[in-house]
Structure 1
Amino acid sequence: MGERTVVANGVRIRVESFGDPADPPLLLVMGNGASMLWWDEGFCRTLAGGGRFVVRYDQRDTGRSVTYPVGRPGYTGADLVDDAAGVLDAYGIPAAHVMGVSGGGGIAQLLALDHPGRVLSLVLMSTTAAVPDDEGRELPPPSEEFGRFVAGARVDWTDEASVVDHLVAYEQVLTGTARPFDEAAARDLVRRDVARARDFPAVQNHDLLADDDGNGDSNGGDGRRRRRGPLSSIAVPTLVVHGTADPLFPVEHGSALADRIPGAGFLPLTGAGHGLHRPDLAVVARAVLAHTGRK
């Protein structure tokens, strides 16, 4: 119980668990550049109180997990998928319910495709399809405000104050314009995340990862071409949760994702932006408990 370091997929990964190991396991996968702190602790405890054994973890180059030189990650997106399976191995968990937010939702989808026996159900939040759409459907791009922020962003990754200011501003953009932004709470979380990290600038490596589209066009971390089936081959119960004001992946990404996975449910969060924010914690926790309790 509590935080510890395990060896998962051959590397050192920092993990933390909540609840009774005898309860149904729920693995939480956060998005690119974000440590496990972005899974609200109260949210984790609510899920544990609802009878789930909850595991969250720092992905490579975040938090207290293994880090790599900036610009030379030495791993691919496929390795991050295998890391999730490795975390389950470290806990002796054959299969788990899996929830992913943003890029973590992509990892969760690929985990279900690459290691189908390890996934009991999926909750995919603030994310988009992780493999190409065979029908070639076009989805809306990020909002103009998001594009302007990315184009104009200036940050000194060697200066903690600059990093904190940048990430707080980024979080404000992700929150969207439909709801007020809690700057104090965001700044507190970002400061804790930066202070806790072994090498915070290493998070930049997540933007440099080799693509792995699942169609054999790139190599996985083991040097072999990785082939995957379509999202329609995912056979586990799936719930897609998406904010209607998401500036990164407009809500059409969520509804399209739910359409591509057989039987998937879709829960829109009115006015919510990108990510899991405090106003939605209770409703999302209830939805996750209900979904992962399906027989």
Structure 2
Amino acid sequence: MATIRVNGVDLGVESFGRDDDPLVLLVGGTTMLSWPDSLCQRLAEAGRRVVRYDLRDSGASSTLDPENPTYDLRDLADDAADLVTALGAKSAHLAGIGVGGMVAQVAALDHPENISALTLVSTRPVAPGPVDDDLPDHDQTVMSAVFSRPQPDWTDRRAVAEFAAEGAALLGNDAEQARAAAARIWDRTPTSDTSVHQANQLGMVFSRLDCSPRWRERLRNLRIPSLIVHGRADPFFPVGNAEVLAAEITEAQPLIFEDMGTQIPEWATEDIATAMLRL
């Protein structure tokens, strides 16, 4: 674990593998723990230098006011590109999950010299908010069930972990994996501030970011090997979003798992790593 200062902020990072191996940079969605340890280790064992990191206002990265961010999506994309350079690499295989997938798309478009391959997991080609007519939106029945639950005491580690486990089944995820990840995220939150704990667990900062202008129409200009990973059981970004991404990006290959929800399950990490290593 370390922090690296780029673009005027400190980013919390964790590295796997040898420093002189080709770089795979994993954008958190929003914390680095969105990426399972087993996936990072598998890529490192195969000869990749894997670095996962926390977005701003999450985990070990600079936290100011997640309820009122003073940066936008382009700043987060610049963070990713600048981190490639700060890590001493000419370019990287960039991977993003969830909202981190939006960061990865914009980074690949705005900084093509820094990005040699792209993996997008459980994400979509437009910003939070209203979607295009050909993109399936959140499953409203599931979203109502998820967000109508009483909020936990965000300063209570056990309550937060239980809250995550209870919501996992609704989102197509493994309850025990979600419980363990939530506890680890809680442990890494550097303050007892309720709003920061909530932001770390739920990624709330993204709903407050300026994500304009649109980037979907630019995706056809990407000319790098790309992998689109998605679960057919994902109610947050239904699988049709992945199908559109795969169609929009010229060299994209889809990898769809029937029983995967919003997060990467442990049982899928081997197949995902194998597919990433082909890029």
TM tier relative to shorter chain:
0.7 to 0.9
Structure 2 gap segments, 5+ residues each: 192-196
Matches of residues 114-193 of structure 1 in structure 2 within 5 Å? 114-130=110-126, 137-155=133-151, 156-175=153-172, 181=174, 183-193=175-185
Measured against aligned partners, the alpha-carbon deviations of 1:256-277 in whole angstroms (never above 9, x if no partner) come to 1110111211111122111211
Question: Residues 209 and 77 of structure 1: is their aligned pair in 2 closer, same or farther, counting only changes over 3 Å?
Answer: farther
Letter aligned with residue 4 of structure 1: A
Q: CA deviation at 1:228?
A: 8.8
Distance 1:275 1:208 in 2: 19
Letter aligned with residue 145 of structure 2: F
2:73 alignment counterpart: 77
**Partners of 1:71 and 1:208 within 8 A in 2:** no
1:248 alignment counterpart: 236
1:101 alignment counterpart: 97
Is the deviation greater in 100-109 or in 139-148? 139-148
Distance 2:116 2:257 in 1: 24
The match for 2:33 among 37, 47, 67 is 37
Measured against aligned partners, the alpha-carbon deviations of 1:62-114 in whole angstroms (never above 9, x if no partner) come to 11111123422222222211111122122122210011111111111000111
Structure 1 gap segments, 5+ residues each: 216-226
Matches of residues 5-16 of structure 1 in structure 2 within 5 Å? 5-16=3-14
Distance 1:240 1:142 in 2: 19
Measured against aligned partners, the alpha-carbon deviations of 1:127-146 in whole angstroms (never above 9, x if no partner) come to 111369xxx54222222442
Q: TM-score, normalised by structure 2?
A: 0.88
The match for 2:224 among 236, 240, 254 is 236
The match for 2:46 among 50, 61, 77 is 50
Matches of residues 9-28 of structure 1 in structure 2 within 5 Å? 9-28=7-26
Q: TM-score, normalised by structure 1?
A: 0.83
The match for 1:276 among 264, 267, 275 is 264
Tell me the percent identity: 36
Question: Residues 210 and 187 of structure 1: is their aligned pair in 2 closer, same or farther, counting only changes over 3 Å?
Answer: closer
Measured against aligned partners, the alpha-carbon deviations of 1:141-168 in whole angstroms (never above 9, x if no partner) come to 2224422224413314344444333322
Letter aligned with residue 259 of structure 1: A
Q: 1:184 aligns to what SS in structure 2?
A: helix
Q: CA deviation at 1:279?
A: 1.5
1:206 alignment counterpart: 205
Report the count of equivalent residues.
268
Question: Residues 228 and 255 of structure 1: is their aligned pair in 2 closer, same or farther, counting only changes over 3 Å?
Answer: closer
Q: 2:186 aligns to what SS in structure 1?
A: helix
**Partners of 1:60 and 1:67 within 8 A in 2:** yes
Question: Residues 30 and 140 of structure 1: is their aligned pair in 2 closer, same or farther, counting only changes over 3 Å?
Answer: same
Q: 1:117 aligns to what SS in structure 2?
A: coil
**Partners of 1:30 and 1:36 within 8 A in 2:** yes
Distance 1:280 1:62 in 2: 25
Q: 2:209 aligns to what SS in structure 1?
A: coil
**Partners of 2:142 and 2:170 within 8 A in 1:** yes
Is the deviation greater in 155-164 or in 53-62? 155-164
Distance 1:7 1:266 in 2: 34
Distance 2:43 2:147 in 1: 38
Q: CA deviation at 1:207?
A: 3.6
Aligned pair 1:90/2:86, yes or no?
Answer: yes
Distance 2:57 2:2 in 1: 16
**Partners of 1:106 and 1:128 within 8 A in 2:** yes
Aligned pair 1:265/2:253, yes or no?
Answer: yes
